[in-house]
Structure 1
Amino acid sequence: MKTYLITGGAGFIGSNFIKYLIEKHQNIKIICLDKLTYAGDLGNIEEEINNNPEKITFIKGDINNQELISYIFDQWDINYIVNFAAESHVDRSIEDAEIFLKTNVLGVQNLLNIAKKKWALRERKYKDDVKFIQVSTDEVYGSLGKNGYFTEKSNIQPNSPYSASKASADMLVRSYNKTHGLPTLITRCSNNYGPCQFPEKLIPLMIKNILNGEELPIYGNGLNVRDWLYVKDHCKAIDMVLEKGEVGEVYNIGGNNETTNIKIVKTLIKEIKHLLAENDEYKEVANTSLDNIKEDLITYVKDRPGHDKRYAIDPSKIKREIGWEPTVNFQEGIKKTIKWYISKY
């Protein structure tokens, strides 16, 4: 039986990863550790906990808590650490970077230190079948122009305090592999979307505002480009990297779906209006009339400082070496996402 320590497991991607593991694997144990800050919601995995009490143990706590992390290792024979725990909102990092450094850098260092100590057999030799996977972001690469793609060999050039903290964590993880031989992996994903995302991010915020007939604020001219990845595809990729990835390596995970922010918002308006018009049950959740769901809701606001122009990932390495590629196209994924938020609201 494999035992996973999933940090940040009540957040957006972490909770979807737990759902994926429960669905795919029979003989596993999951220790879900989450601080339950504003973006962590135990309700995201409440059903999984209730239906699988023998498989999932939830612990409320901070990855910076040395005693707690040591206790978890003493209580359970941890095979895999999958670190989703992070402060992740760029705007918040611009206002106050300190908590991003504490969680995203020092928290990761604490996890690495304790894993190194608890997994060690002797110098540079560790228990069999143990791995530390750092779930990172394409934002560590900085910004692209109109052409080209981020590869695993692209320079690390973060442009926000958030991405700088994630880049710092990545370098720590790499250093523990190179210096101490700790079996680590790093994944860097493009923008995720799907169920359970906290509504300060673009897609859930726009869905909520459209359903409420509220303004749809877009930074700058709305032409910033992101590569969108359905969260379940991301979860599958992480699982496959754990299983097949080469220790010490970095794997980029992209959705092959570059889209401008303004196009995303216009697509959401169109799809939500269509779903409400076709389904009376969905229509009942909207706090506005169909006539009010229109592009006139879009407003352009002052651009974010240091706003990266374009992200685009080359996922050829993970496809070639591990056999992963995205399976959910954006049209399908966005409909699933909208329906989930409609049912939630």
Structure 2
Amino acid sequence: MIVVTGGAGFIGSNFVNDWLASSDEPILNLDKLTYAGNLNNLKAVSEDARHMFVQGDICDRAQLDALFFDNKPRAIVHFAAESHVDRSILGPGEFVNTNINGTFSLLEAARTYWSGLPDEERAAFRFLHVSTDEVYGTLGPDDAPFSETTPYAPNSPYSASKAASDHLVRAYHHTYGLPTLTTNCSNNYGPYHFPEKLVPLIIANARAGKPLPIYGDGQQVRDWLYVSDHCAAIRRVLEDGRLGETYNIGGWNEKANLDVVYTLCDILDELSPKASGGSYREQITYVADRPGHDRRYAIDARKIERELDWRPAETFESGIKKTVQWYLANQEWVADVQSGAYLNWMEKNYAARKEAP
């Protein structure tokens, strides 16, 4: 058995679904079910005896100790995190608590459990920490992409909290010998993405006839990674990654946010045309930029390709079309997650962002 934290969130639920589609090994899925955790993401495995869901908090040390002792996992894959930059600007406390204190609690519980295992099981145990490229800060237009040796320079409360958690994981390997692995990924997109992030927000707003908000000039560049490719990379790192090492996972797809929105509008024009005959591009609206908005992220993913023979299977063009098709086919899921709490958040976030000239 493996333990997955945050397995009802976007990337975590995709990982759980993909894992159980390709492996008979059971999963214990621990998720707090905050606004971003959604059991509807796990409908496909809800009756699967290999999937055990437990609602809980990674900050609850007693619960972690009991779960590890009772279920004897051979690995922990740690997705659980507060991850939305805008939310971290308006309320950083939750990010510090979950991403730093929660990871510390999980590491302590894992260390205690691992220390008591028989020698063979201790040697086979793994703690895989899923992190982000945002810990590296921002790049200029001509800078080399982030590598595993790029110095950390986080620029938001979110990325600072993730950087701190990365350092804790590193320290537990070097100080205690805990067999850790860390992955730093680029921007994910795909099914089950909570619709306050760019791709699902644009799809939902476009079809609802709402404005498509673009921060600043829309020229912020990101490396886009299809979520199933990310999950496949994590499985490879868990299987054969070198202990104590970091692996950057990227899609080799640098795109400006505005170009991503143009692409989404064009696909929607093709697959779900407006009754008026116009283009969804007509709904694009420019709003005030986010404070401290990093200009460019890019991932150098050669290490994971060289050591673990992993490369993304999807191009941006194939992955983004699959994503739009999924959202169009799952309108009930979209409506379900757009609850009152979500709408209140969106109003709070964008109320202060007057339309840019």
Return the TM-score normalized by structure 2.
0.90
Query: Post-superposition shift, 1:213?
Result: 1.3
1:298-335 Cα shifts (integer Å, max 9, x gaps): 11111101100000000000000011011101111111
Structure 2 counterpart of 1:282: none
Provide runs of 4+ in structure 1 moved above 2 Å. 288-294
For residue 291 of structure 1, give the secondary structure of its aligned residue in structure 2.
Answer: coil
In 2, Cα distance between equivalents of 1:138 and 1:62: 25
Q: Give the counterpart letter for 1:36 in structure 2.
A: L
Aligned to 2:346: none
8 Å CA contact 2:268, 2:280 repeated in 1: no
AA at the equivalent of 1:35? K
Which residue number in structure 1 is paired with residue 172 of structure 2?
Answer: 176
Cα distance in 2 for partners of 1:99, 1:156 equals 22
For 1:150 and 1:318, how far apart are their aligned partners in 2?
13
User: Which of 4, 9, 12 is the equivalent residue of 1:11?
Assistant: 9
**1:190-242 deviation line (CA, Å, top 9, x unaligned):** 00000000000000000001111110001000000000000000000000000
Contact 2:17/2:44, CA 8 A, preserved across alignment: no
Compared CA separation, residues 241 and 184, structure 1 to 2 (3 A)? same
- State the match for 1:38 in structure 2: 35
Q: Distance in 2 between matches of 1:206 and 1:247?
A: 39
Q: What root-mean-square deviation, in Å, do the aligned CA atoms of Structure 1 and Structure 2 show? A: 1.4
* 2:249 alignment counterpart: 253
Matches for 1:9-88 after TM superposition, within 5 Å: 9-26=7-24, 28-50=25-47, 52-53=48-49, 55-88=50-83
Q: Which of 113, 123, 133 in structure 2 is aligned with 1:128?
A: 123
Q: Which residue of 1 aligns with 2:319?
A: 333
User: What is the aligned partner in structure 2 of residue 92 from structure 1?
Assistant: 87
Separation of aligned partners in 2, 1:121 and 1:65: 20
The answer to which of 293-302 and 136-145 deviates more is 293-302
Aligned-partner residue type, residue 189 of structure 1: C
Residue 292 of structure 1 deviates from its aligned partner by 4.5
SS in 1 for 2:272: helix
Distance 1:130 1:211 in 2: 46
Listed as ranges, the gaps of 5+ residues in structure 2 are 332-357
Partner SS state of residue 227, structure 1: strand
One-letter code of the match for 1:192?
Answer: N
1:160 and 2:156 are equivalent in the alignment: yes
CA contact under 8 A between 1:273 and 1:290: conserved in structure 2?
A: no
State the partner residue of 1:280: none
Q: Percent identity?
A: 50
State the alpha-carbon separation in 2 of the partners of residues 293 and 60 from structure 1: 43
* 1:19 Cα deviation after fit: 1.0
Spell out, residue by residue over 1:88-119, the C-alpha distance to the aligned partner (whole angstroms, 9 max, x if none).
Answer: 00001001110001000000000100110011
Q: Number of paired residues?
A: 329
Task: Give 1:23 deviation, angstroms.
Answer: 1.3
Q: Does structure 2 retain, via aligned residues, the 8 Å contact 1:193–1:230?
A: yes
Q: Are the equivalent residues in 1 in contact too, given 2:74–2:121 (CA < 8 A)?
A: no
1:126 CA displacement: 7.1
**Who is 1:303 aligned against?**
289
Instruction: Measure the CA separation in 1 of the matches of 2:276 and 2:321.
Output: 18
Amino acid at match of 1:276: S
User: Where in structure 1 are there 5+ consecutive unaligned residues?
Assistant: 278-287
